[in-house]
Amino acid sequence: MNSQPRQLLYIMSPSYSGSTLLTSLLAPHPDIATIGELKASKVSNTEGYRCSCGELITECDFWRTITEKITAQGGFFSVKDWRTHFASDNPVFNRIIRPVVHGPILETLRRYALQLVPGCQQALSAILDANQQVIEAVCQTHQASVFLDGSKDPLRVKYFYESGRWEMKVIFLTRDGRGTSNSDKKYSNRNIAEAAKQWREKIVEMELIANMLPDSQLLRLKYESLCDETEETLALICQFAGIAPFDAVQRRSAALHILGNDKMRLGAVNDVRLDEKWKRELNSDELDSFSEVAGLINSRLGYQ
């Protein structure tokens, strides 16, 4: 293992908060290597699944190289079986490690359970190993020093951070909860109250992680600022990650291999447009309903 831990830049956010946009803006930086969401939970069926380069993931040269690299080092990797998601087929292990970040008391209980239940510690290590193998292979292939994981999930930050394997830099990305809840309503068939509750619970989890991290390892960022002041916001992130600002480096123009969204355009700063459709799509009953469930936490985040 390297003496200096690899830097892992992580986008932690609720769904529909601009994490894909942010990933696509950061991906062309030559010091950053990314594949989008390393948890790869959406690639459960590789049949017909396309990499962002346009190739089928089973045909893409990049993924072939990654598989060969990991296999040559004695590890296991297959695009059909990532093993990078913190979940397991073993229901006991699954109950212990999933699904959310808890408060300090329950997290202490979880730590005991992981130590006491046979096989749990090994299973957790195996997931961390799988993540580390992909991170190293992707960074080597891109010749980049920083790995960007856009997986969003706060629970991954917890396990990554506690493992001590990486130098974590976490972007705490939020968007006005009325915007995320409106998107959630449209795409997940929830009503606004349910969507607001989901969003609120995710923010609470993110705050638990924020309390765990030293200040220098956390950057709070708003989706709205990313859209309104894109260049300034990207400069801030580069400074946070300790890499050269974009205007000092040549944006990488070669194809990138990112999972999760084949329509994503990489690095198109000029195409960034703030989505505030919620302002005309939510009626006053829905706004009241949101406010009742999550208004307080939304205003605490600076959304009035």
Binding site for Zn ion (CB under 5 A): 51, 53, 60, 62, 257
Least CB distance to Zn ion at residue 36 (A): 11
Nearer to Zn ion, 53 or 266 (CB): 53
- Supply angle C-alpha 121, 66, 69, rounded to 5: 80
Give whole-number Cα distances, 96 to 57, 93, 231, in Å.
Answer: 32, 5, 42
Nearer to Zn ion, 51 or 101 (CB): 51
Least CB distance to Zn ion at residue 55 (A): 5
Nearer to Zn ion, 63 or 86 (CB): 63
Nearer to Zn ion, 12 or 51 (CB): 51
Nearer to Zn ion, 14 or 150 (CB): 150
Give whole-number Cα distances, 255 to 47, 58, 201, in Å.
Answer: 22, 16, 37
Least CB distance to Zn ion at residue 166 (A): 24
Nearer to Zn ion, 15 or 65 (CB): 65
CA distance 260 to 38: 10
Least CB distance to Zn ion at residue 32 (A): 17
Separate counts of helices (H) and strands (E) for the chain: 12, 5
Nearer to Zn ion, 186 or 252 (CB): 252
Give whole-number Cα distances, 51 to 61, 130, 176, 244, in Å.
Answer: 10, 20, 30, 28
Nearer to Zn ion, 66 or 170 (CB): 66
Do the Cβ atoms of 29 and 246 come closer than 8 Å?
yes
Classified as helix, coil or strand, 78 is strand
CA distance 26 to 282: 31
Nearest to 82 by CA among 137, 15, 27, 160: 137
Residue 26 amino acid letter: L
What distance separates the 2 farthest-apart alpha carbons in the chain?
Answer: 59
The alpha carbon dihedral of 23, 24, 26, 30 has a sign of positive
